[in-house]
Amino acid sequence: MIHFRGSAALEAEQTGRDLDAVTGALAFEPVDHDCLDHAGLEHITGWSASLFQRVKTTSALIVWALVCGLVAGVLLDMLTFLVARYGPQFGHWSFRGNGALAVPFGFGPAILAGAWVALVLRYRGFPGWLRRGLITLLIGAAFLVLSVFFLYLTDVDVMLLLLGWMIVAPVVAAFIRRPAQATRAGAAVGHIGAGVGFPVAMALAFYASGSVLAPGS
């Protein structure tokens, strides 16, 4: 009996040591909740700031495109009004009256070509994208002047070529080789929105301005 009790005591003591060992192995290091919350807060704050900056940049680009489109529409209507009232006139050809429609249908596509080329080059990270857009606009204006002289000399209207320039110029800008150090400026959605908003704003401003300063009036 005594031997049995001694053996039982030894077994109980060994079992207690085993349980202590298992408990120690399963113990976890204390977690610093303050540190975890601080790191998570920094991550969320940084992500929110980055998202806010992207939205701000995209919105600013679209707003500037709308403003420029409104200004371009008003100026286009003023130019149409001046041409409708004062000419020019070449022989039996006159741009007075309805002939002044050559301005919005000729110079309008040149403006769009310049704006779209500028947006494409800006998105692709080209330096001097605004200057290149203005050069594209001037090339379109030169096509308009040449088409007027060609019309006077041959009685053949080639003004539809300006519509081709409006389409071809941005496509060429999208595929020309990009500089090695160029980085894209902003998101594509912002540039697409600006590219859509610009002609819409220009058209609305042109028609609204025409109700006040109507060509031919």
Among 90, 97, 106, smallest CA distance to 155 is for 90
Q: pLDDT of 16-44, one tens digit each?
A: 555 455 444 444 455 455 554 555 555 55
Q: Report helix, strand or coil for 26.
A: coil
Q: Compute mean pLDDT per 10 residues along the chain, 217 residues long, and list them.
A: 48 55 48 51 57 80 96 94 79 70 88 96 91 95 85 75 90 88 78 95 94 72
**Measuring CA to CA, how many Å separate 149 from each of 82, 146, 160, 166?**
19, 5, 14, 20
Q: pLDDT of 184-213, one tens digit each?
A: 777 888 999 999 999 999 999 999 998 887
Q: Report helix, strand or coil for 54.
A: helix
**Measuring CA to CA, how many Å separate 63 from each of 47, 82, 108, 119, 133?**
24, 29, 20, 13, 18
Output the six-digit token pair for 175: 């595929």
Among 184, 186, 193, smallest CA distance to 63 is for 193
Q: Are 85 and 95 in contact (CB under 8 A)?
A: no
CA–CA dist 202, 193 (Å, integer): 14
For 118-148, b/e burial (b = at least 16 CB within 10 A) is bbbbbbbebeebeebbeebbebbbebbeebb
